[in-house]
Every structure is written in structure tokens, then in C-alpha cells.
Amino acid sequence: MFGFSSYGQFTLSGKITNEKNQPLTGSHIHTQYFNTVSNPIGEFEINGLPKGELRVYISYLGYTTCDTLVDITQDVVLNVQLKPSETKLESVTVKQKTAKVSSSLSEQRISKASIERNSSKTLADALKEVPGVSLLRTGTTIVKPVINGLHSSRVPIFSNQVRLEDQQWGTEHAPNFDLNAAGKISVVKGASGLQYSGDAVGGMVIIESTSVKQDTLFGRTIVSGSSNGRGGTISSSIHKGNSAGWRWNALGTFTYFGDRESPDYVLSNSGNRELNFSGDVSYVKENYGLSAFYSLYNAKIGILSASHIGNVTDLYNSINNQIPYIINDFTYSIQHPKQVIQHHLFKLNYLQKLDESSSISTFYSLQFNNRNELDLRLGEDANKAALDLELTTHSLQSDYKKEWNQFTLKTGISGLFQNNFANPRTGVRPLIPTYVRFDAGFYGIGTYEINEDLIVDGGVRYDFSTIEASKDYLKSRWEERGYQDDFADIIVDETANQWRTKPQFTFHNISASLGVRKDFQQDWKWLNNISLSNRNPNPSEFFSDGLHHSTGQIELGDLRLKKEESLKFSSSLSKNGKSFSMEINPFLHYISNFIYLRPIGFETTIRGAFPVWEFQQTNARLFGLDFHSQWNIHSNWQHKFSFAYVNGEDLSESQPLIDMPPMTISTSIQYKKEGWNGLLLELQSESVFRQHRYPDFNFETDIIVDGEFVPVIVDISTPPKAYQLFHFYSEMKFKAFKILDTTIALSVQNMLNTDYRDYLNRQRFFVDEMGRNIQLQLKINY
Amino acid sequence: MKNLKIMALALTAIFTFNSCSNDDSPVVEEELITTLTATFVGGGETITLTSRDADGDGPNAPIITLSGNFAASTNYSGSVQFLNELVNPAENITEEIEEKDLEHQVFYQIPNSLGNFTYSDFDTEGNPLGLEFTFATGANPGTGIITITLRHLPNKNADGVSDGNISNAGGSTDVEVSFPIVII
């Protein structure tokens, strides 16, 4: 058993070589926590290091011992060239670099502490600590990350290299991922990760599960209880590490919440349940490794009762009254409307080292996603889903990596096959039709170290994609869309009032990335990157046609949509000092054929009039700035500050882009005293400004008052006012029963119980956000 | 594309979590209300008001028909019926509303000068349901709009709701139709 009093989250790895760049097998690497020995190719790895300064001694008989200080604030790669001891003592060459997606694009890691704090929340809640990441919400539990103003299909999420295929096109479809299963999370604010994909127009989120390379067995349990929602989460994991041979991990999470509450009323039907599992087994030898991974995400999420509205009169009333029309007493039970989701991910990976400097890694993955959306329905259909989608995705990928002295080459090929099945037995016309999709791609990325402090990298990727759908159009809709002239050839069949069509689309895309990184003295780094990416319209943008019940609007796709082309330039200047660190990250982003939803008028049905929103394309320009700093004022006091601003403009119409996150500022002050059981106190202030730049998509409608039609304006455009929230966090560490390392954390979110609404919450027309929440958390390592 | 389909079927066959077959039949829309018919019997005449929306949520507006004009100072006894005529035979949704009477209420709005509606049927808790009603026309001829609204999950205990006032009713609108009527 392994003492985990010093269990930290960082890894130090690297390669020990001699003056001729030959590996030194059996070099001793000593630190105050762990010692290790380099393997036959000179490589070593030490896991579980805490944050802070670390003295590292590297010795090899006949060579001068290297004694260096490494600042552990993230995973560090330390490549050391030892000099023979006969020669005159000279300073050794120490190179520090981090294992990253791209060496020229700024990448932010989410700390393990943040992952644990958000144990009972969502993936996106943990990502919010990164400046430039905001949250797109539908209620309290459906949360998606927005990176520099973009989200959903533009921000793919990768779990252990596998792109999550979980109907991610929809704004009310949150990532089907259990945050507790994440070991490491990185946010890349651009499309430069070409080894992953060529269509990450907004950026990407890369998640790796915990992997322990030390010979040990340990477990961890986190129990969280929250006052708001009167529920909590229990997550337990067990990890068997090994330097070579068998390693395995298993994790289970259970979440149970009732209705959340805003400061003034219960948010009826906002409870949720989750029951998740993930686990992996791997067998690792010197030259090869084989691993199998499986995860299951299983969730039931209530959709706020008050957001289920009827026609535009209901929408008008809700916006103007500012009070939800359904407020029931608190309950744990989840009624309709609700979402019931299952996501299975299975992956088989094989890594083969070809020689000391090259390796090839191949994986196959299978994902099965079943999304059921249950609505308020009558009679026999009451318990029948209104939307039942089964999405099956197979993917196969092989990556080759070769390192020379100054040059690293990564290249690979990938293929994907996907089948979506929209169950017609729901008795409701599905928003997303049945379809099959086939993708293939290959890429090459090179990184060249011109010298120790100047690195250039560049890459190019080609993607082929074809999709064929089976879609039924109402004949009236077919004509309204004007498809009879352009798409008459895709009709294959007809029923009384519908056309059965087989639309098919094929795309060839080239994406590329080019960047340079320059290191200056005194811990300054300057990164510049330009990336070109393409995103094909997703099935919802092509095929949507019908009433979206949760928003009370008719959404119409368009078969004529073209792919989006994006060009993003981003620059990052950072300083990583002992007492002060900061990063400033400006960007400029052009997207041609940018797809967005825009209101175009009304349609009258027997249920009344509904606003019609159509997917349209325009040329968009975004620019913005993210900044964060960390100042260690004193050994006990720390100050953190972050700022994010994005400005989106529709260039074709000369007006602001819709749904751009408002400016945010976050400040926190932290007091830490190791001597007092690791006492940590933190106070955070979060200020969200009002979004002043928004397009006016308000529309006029007639509502009936006293038997007369009265024209009114439905204000769907005006963003809510600015708000400021205060959050508190505290923790202490104990040894329970003398052996169990235990942390108790008490935190309060929205301390002042402030009433507010957020521009990026799709339910802002109906309810206030959640009020004060007090959370008690217990973490045990054993 | 043939090959792609064969591949699709082969690969899906390998991996089926649910026993669901890849049923590719067109969706038959259920529980959709396409048609509202309100019948008024009084003064020796029967007047029907119909709104028929044959394409449901599709782009075409409902077609509204009125069989005749109302007479002044007359009491009509009325009833309303909701149908889904997209299925054959037509599905009578009215029965399901009667079953779930606590969750529904039909509202009738008309300018006071033209007449007023009174509920004739009630749910199991004694609150109005509104599938049956009486309509008393005013003493003077005129024109105006009758709006018939079916609300799902209204707050039946809110102020004025049992008298047929929709303003505090809340809930979501399943049907809302306006008929321009003439009183002679």
C-alpha cells in the first residue's frame, strides 16, 4: 500500500542521454517524494507530484550528477543530457517542455482540484475556470462549454482520443460524460490539434482518464452533498498502477438531485440522476502496450416545467411576467418533459514502439448513444418518447510518431462510420432523421526546434465525409422551402401528405495549422498560431423541420447550406514566474458561411402562431482577449484574476452576432496555511457584464385581449442585466483512523442569494438562475 | 451509396444494444390536434365553427369555416370537439381530454358587448372543463372575434380561471383559434 499523504496530480517525465544523445539506461532520478530509474531507452516518469518547486538529482556512474530545480505547475518533461565526469564541469543542458497538443497554441489545463470540486456538477462547470470559456445552459444541469464565443458542433470533445459522438449538435444536448472520470482535461482554443480533427472551428476539449504508472494500488472516494437540489454525488474509484505489466482503473459515480431553487421560487422539474461507470485494463511492456477502455454514462434529466410553453402568446406572457407559470413544491420526482440518455464508449488501443524514437498507436472505438426525450403527451402516448435517437459510431485511427534530434513528425489516418436511427414509432416527426455517415482522413504534423528557445510547428489534414439521410418532408414544407425545383431528384417515395427523400452530401476538406513559439529569458513565452479549418453542416442544420417544444419555436434546416470555413489567428504571451504568472491571449477569427439560427417570421397552426427560426449563413468576424494572472503575494496569500471578452460581428449584415458571451471578470483571493491541517480559504467574485452588442430579432405579434387583436412586441433579443456573484470555498486535511487521508471541503456558491438571469441560458425567458448553494464535500484517499 | 447502406446494415447488426429493428417507415403523427369543431345549437339552428390544420406544424395556416351567423338575444348550447384527422379513421382527442379533465380547460373569449359564455361541464374537483358550454348572444347585432383556447396544465385555482378568465391560467397552449363571427 502506498502512502498518499503527498498524492499530487503532476507528472515529471523525460529522457536521460549522454553527450552523443545515446540513452543512459539505469540513470537514477531522485526527488524528495519518489525515486526511479530510467528504462532501456533512457526514459523515466514520476507521477503524483504535488505543485511547487521540486529539486531533482539525476546521476549515472561516470557522469556528472545533474542537480536542478523544476517548477511543477503542470506536467513537465525534463530531458537531460549528462556530461562525462572526466570533462571539465560545465552547466548541463536542461530542456523543459510539456506534453501538449500543439507547441504553438496556448492550451489550458483544468486542475485536478477543480475537477474534484465540481464532482456533482458537469464537465462544462469545471472548464469554466479557463478564461475565455463560458457556459451555454439549458436550465441547471444541461451545460455546454463555449470557447471564445463558439460551441456545440464547433467544439468537439475527446475522451481518451475518441471524439464524443452524442448528438452534440443541439444546444440542449450536454456532453454525455462523467466529469469524475477525467484525470486530465485540456482546453485548446483553436483548431490546431489536427491529429484529432480538422473541424474544431471553436476549439477542443481533450480529456484523458487517470493512468498510474507507479507500482501501487489505491482508491479514492468523493462524497458531495448540496443544499440546493437537496442531493449529492458519490464517486468512488480504484486504481492499480504498474510501471510495466498490468494496470487497471475502475470508477463509479451516482448522482441524485431533486428540484433546484432560485432565490424566490422552486425551479420545478429541474432534478437529475446519473449512474455512471468507467474502467480500463492495460498491459504495458517495454516496447508495446495494449489497453481496453469502457465507459457508460447514464442520465435522466428533468426539463423545467415552466419552459414547456405553447405558442407565441405564452412566450410573450412569460417574458413580460418574469415569473414562471408553474411553481410546485419541492420534489425529488422527475416528471415530463425530461431527457433519458445512455452513452456507451468502448475503445481498444495498441501501441507499438518501433525503435527508440518512433512509435505507432492504433485504436478502434465504438460508441452507442441512445437519447430519449419525453414530452407532455396525452393518453396512451404519455410515456412514449417524443424523440428516440440511436446513434452508433465506429472509428478506427492509427497514429505514427517519430522523433529526431530537433524534428518531430506525427502522422496518421482515421476512418469513421456512423449510423443514426430515428425511431418512427414515437408518433412525432423527428428533428433529426435516420442517416448514415462515412468519414476518412489523414494528417501530418511537424515540429522543428530551430534552437532551444525557438520552435516552429505546422500541419495539414485532409478529410472526406459523406452523409446520406432518409428524411420525410411534409409536402407543404417541401414547397415552402422551395425544394421542388432544386431537389426533385432526391424524392424516392410518397405517402398522403409527405415526400420520402434521400438527401446525400459529400465534402472534401483541407485544414492546416502553422505556428511559432519563442521563449525569452525570465520565464516569458510567446506563442503564435494560425489555423484554417472547415466544418460541414450538421444533421440539425440540414434537416431540422418542425416545432421545438422546449423553446416554442419552429426550427428549419436548409439543404442548401455550405460548409463553414474558419481562419483563426491567436497569440499568447505568458510569464511563468515564482511569485507572478500571467497569460494574455488575443485572437482574431474569421468564419465564412457561419451558420446560425435567425427568426424569419411566423407560421400559424391550430395551436396559434409560432415564430419561425431558420438556419442561415453569413460571414462572421470574432475578436477578443483572454487574460489571467496569479500572484503569490505572500507564502500564505494568493490572488487570481481573469478577464474574458469576445466581440462577434455579422459582416454581411453589419450587426452583432447573436449569443456572444458578455464580458466577464473573476477575482479570487486565497489563504493557505499548511501547518493548520492544510487550511485553505478562498473567496471569489464573479462579474458578468451586460451584453450590449446583440442583433434585434424582436418580432411583433397579435395577442387577443377582450376579443380584439392587440399588436405587441415579443422581446427575445434584449440580454439580461449584469450580475455579480460571490463564492466561498474552504478545505482542511485530516488523517482519519490514522491511515486515511481525508479532505473536508465546505463551499458556498452564490453566497448572497442573488437573483439573476444569464444571456447564455436558453431558459432565461422563463426563470431566474439557481440561488445559494451550500456544498459539503468529503474526499478520502486509501 | 448502395455499398454504404449494406455496410451500415452489416455494422449495425454487429452491435445492437436494443432489440429495435431499423424500422424505416414514415412517422405516423399521433396525438396531434388537426381539427377543432365547435357546435352551437339555439334558435332552431345549428351553427358550426371549424378550424382544420391539415399539415399540423407545417407551414400552411389552418382553414377556418363558419356555417352561419348568430342571432342576437339567443341562447345557444354548445360543445367542442378536437380531432386528429391525419390518421384514418380520425382520432378523437376530446375523449382523452375528458379522461385527463384535471389537466385541461377550454377558454372562450369574446367582447362583452357581443355575448358571454358559461361553462356547463366540470372536472372531478368541480372546476370547469369547458367541452360543453352555453353561449348567450347580446341584444345588438355586431361583429367580433371568438377565441377558443385549450390549455394544458392550467392553474385552475388561480383568480378568475373558474369564471373562464384566461389571463391568470398559465399552462401551455394546445389549441388557439380565432373565429370572426357576425351577430345579426
The C-alpha atoms of residue A729 and residue A117 are separated, in whole angstroms, by 9
**Number of helices (H) and strands (E), helices first, in chain A?**
6, 46
How far apart are the C-alpha atoms of A765 and A317, rounded to whole Å? 10
Contact call for A607 and B7, based on CB within 8 A: no
Q: Give the position of cell 452588442.
A: A693
Residue window 335-364, chain A: list those with CB within 8 Å of chain B.
Answer: 342, 344
Minimal C-alpha gap between B111 and chain A (Å): 5
Residues from chain B contacting residue A364 (CB–CB below 8 Å)? none
Would you call A404 helix, strand, or coil by DSSP? coil
Q: Within an 8 Å CB–CB cutoff, is residue A604 touching chain B?
A: yes
Is the CB of B99 less than 8 angstroms away from the CB of A379? Answer: yes
Tell me whether strands A157-159 and A204-208 are parallel, antiparallel or unpaired. parallel
Residue type, B12: T
User: For residues A376 and A386, is the Cβ–Cβ distance under 8 A?
Assistant: no
Express each pLDDT in A159-194 by its tens digit.
999 999 998 888 889 999 999 999 889 999 877 789
- The residue written with cell numbers 402562431 in the block is A609
Average pLDDT, rounded, for chain A: 89
> Using a CB-CB distance cutoff of 8 angstroms, which residues of chain A are in contact with residue B152?
310, 376
How would residue A398 be classed by pLDDT, with cut points 50, 70 and 90? very high
Q: How far is CA A598 from CA A43, A317, A553, A615, A723, in A?
A: 55, 22, 11, 6, 27
Q: From the candidates B2, B3, B4, which should be mutated to test the interface with A, based on the most A CB atoms within 10 A? A: B4
Residues of A in contact with B2 (CB under 8 A): none
Provide DSSP, A550-592: TTTEEEE--TTPPPEEEEEEEEEEEEE-SSEEEEEEEEEEEEE
Closest CA to A604 of B176, B102, B68, B144: B176
Q: Let me know how many helices (H) and strands (E) chain B has, helices first.
A: 2, 10
Those of residues 20-59 in B touching chain A at CB distance below 8 A are 20, 22-31, 33-36, 51-59
User: Which parts of A404-495 are beta strand (E)?
Assistant: 407-422, 434-451, 454-474, 491-494
CB contact under 8 A, A392 and B111: no
Q: Is the peptide bond before B89 cis (omega within 30 degrees of 0)?
A: yes
Q: What are the angstrom distances between the C-alpha of A69 and each of A66, A76, A78, A452?
A: 10, 12, 11, 18
As a whole number, mean pLDDT of residues A592-614 equals 88
Cβ-count burial A475-496 (b if 16+ within 10 Å, e if not): bbbbebbebeeebeebeeeeee
Mean pLDDT value across residues A724-747: 91
Q: Do B29 and A428 touch (CB under 8 A)?
A: yes
Residue A55 has pLDDT above 90, yes or no: no
A214, pLDDT greater than 90: no
Q: With cut-offs at 50, 70 and 90, classify the pLDDT of residue B104.
A: very high
Residue B158: pLDDT band by 50, 70, 90 thresholds?
A: confident
Query: CB B176 to CB A376 under 8 A?
Result: no
For chain A, what percent of residues have pLDDT higher than 70? 95
Instruction: Report the C-alpha dihedral over residues A521, A522, A523, A529, rounded to 10 degrees.
Output: -40
CB A230 within 8 A of CB A770: no
pLDDT in tens, A315-326: 888 888 888 878
How far is the alpha carbon of B53 from chain A, nearest alpha carbon, in Å?
6
Q: Is the minimum CB–CB distance between B165 and chain A shorter than 8 Å?
A: no
pLDDT band of residue B20 (cuts 50, 70, 90) is: very low
* Least confident segment among A125-134, A559-568, A617-626, A736-745: A736-745
Q: Which residue has the cell 442548401?
A: A560
Grid coordinates representing A680 are 485553505
Listed range (A229-233, A292-296, A397-401, B86-90) with the worst mean pLDDT: B86-90
Find residue A360's DSSP bridge partners: A352, A400
In angstroms, the CA B98 to CA B55 distance is 25
> Is A578 an interface residue toward B (CB < 8 Å)?
no
Instruction: Write out the three cell numbers for A586.
Output: 488575443
CA contacts within 13 A on the Cβ side of A167: 29
Buried residues in A750-770 as b, exposed as e (16+ CB within 10 A): bbebeebbbbbbbbbbbbbbb
Write the CA distances from A604 to A435, A713, B50, B170, integer angstroms.
30, 17, 15, 21
Q: Look at residue A64 in the predicted model and tell me its pLDDT.
A: 76
Q: How far apart are CA A8 and CA A29, in angstroms?
A: 18
- State mean pLDDT over A238-261: 92
Contact status, residue A658 vs residue A695, Cβ threshold 8 Å: yes
- Nearest-CA distance A666 → chain B (Å): 39
Beta strand B132-137 pairing with B115-119: antiparallel
Q: Which segments within A148-244 are labelled E, that is strand?
A: 157-159, 162-163, 184-188, 204-208, 216-226, 231-241
* A692, containing H or E segment: none
- Reduced to 3 states (helix: H, G, I; strand: E, B; else coil), residue A504 is strand
- Cβ B97–A477 below 8 Å, yes or no? no
For A426, name the nearest residue in chain B, comparing CA atoms only.
B27
pLDDT band of residue A2 (cuts 50, 70, 90) is: very low
Query: Pick from A740, A746, A734: which is nearest to A224 by CA?
Result: A746
Q: In this structure, what are the phi and psi dihedrals at residue A173, rounded to the nearest 5 degrees?
A: -115, 100
Residue A557 and residue A570: Cα distance in Å, rounded?
32
Contact B45, B68 (CB under 8 A): yes
- Residue-wise pLDDT tens digits, A681-705: 999 999 999 999 999 999 888 887 7
> For residue A210, what pLDDT band results from cuts at 50, 70 and 90?
confident
At residue A389, the pLDDT reads 93
Are the beta carbons of B24 and A434 separated by less than 8 Å?
Answer: yes
Indicate the pLDDT class of residue A108, thresholds 50, 70 and 90: confident
Q: Find out whether A266 and A304 touch, Cβ atoms under 8 Å.
A: no
CB contact, 8 Å: A470 with chain B? yes
pTM of the model: 0.84
**Per-residue pLDDT at A363:** 96
In A, residues 668-707, which contact B (CB 8 Å cutoff)? 704, 706-707
> Is the pLDDT at B29 greater than 70, yes or no?
yes
- The Cβ-side half-sphere exposure at A66, using a 13 Å CA radius, reads 24
First CA to last CA across chain B, in angstroms? 65
Asked if the C-beta of A762 comes within 8 angstroms of chain B's C-beta atoms, the answer is no
- Rounded to 5 degrees, what angle do the CA atoms B37, B40, B45 make? 125
pLDDT given at position B65: 95
Residue A6 has a pLDDT of 35
Q: How far apart are CA A133 and CA A148, in angstroms?
A: 6
Look at residues A124, A4, A125, A118 and name the one whose alpha carbon lies nearest to residue A777.
A118
The residues pairing with A248 across neighbouring beta strands, listed in sequence order, are A240, A281
How far apart are the C-alpha atoms of A279 and B72, rounded to whole Å?
A: 77
Query: For an interface test with A, which of B33, B35, B60 has the most A Cβ atoms less than 10 Å from its Cβ?
Result: B60
As a whole number of angstroms, the distance between CA A180 and CA A117 comes to 10
Backbone region of residue A651 per phi and psi (left: phi > 0; alpha: psi in -120 to 50; beta: other values): alpha
Neighbouring residues of A715: CB distance < 8 A, sequence distance ≥ 6: A319, A698
Closest partner residue to B59 (CB to CB) among A342, A495, A603 is A603
A487/A473 Cα distance (integer angstroms):
12
Contact B122, B72 (CB under 8 A): no
Contact B18 A370 (CB under 8 A): yes
Does B30 score more than 80 pLDDT?
A: no
Kindly report which listed range (A246-260, A313-327, A351-365, A399-413) carries the lowest average pLDDT score: A313-327
Q: Which chain A residues have a beta carbon less than 8 Å from that of B56?
A: 474, 605
Which three cell numbers, joined as nine digits, stand for B94? Answer: 376530446
Q: Grid cell 483541407 — which residue?
A: A510
Report how far apart, in Å, the C-alpha atoms of B170 and of each of A116, A307, A635, B145, B166 are.
41, 12, 58, 22, 8
CA dist A365 and B18 (Å) reads 19
3-class DSSP state of B10: helix
End-to-end alpha-carbon separation of chain A, Å?
A: 9
pLDDT given for residue A101 in this prediction: 67
| Three-class DSSP category at A622 | strand
Q: Is the sign of the CA dihedral A448, A450, A453, A458 positive or negative? A: negative
Q: Which helix (H) or strand (E) holds A681?
A: strand A679-688
Q: With beta carbons under 8 A apart, name residues in chain B contacting A377.
A: 31
Q: Mean pLDDT, to the nearest integer, of A585-594?
A: 96
Lowest mean pLDDT among A32-46, A367-381, A483-497: A32-46
Tell me the chain A residues in contact with residue B87 when contact means C-beta distances shorter than 8 Å: none
d(CA A517, CA A514) in angstroms, rounded, equals 11
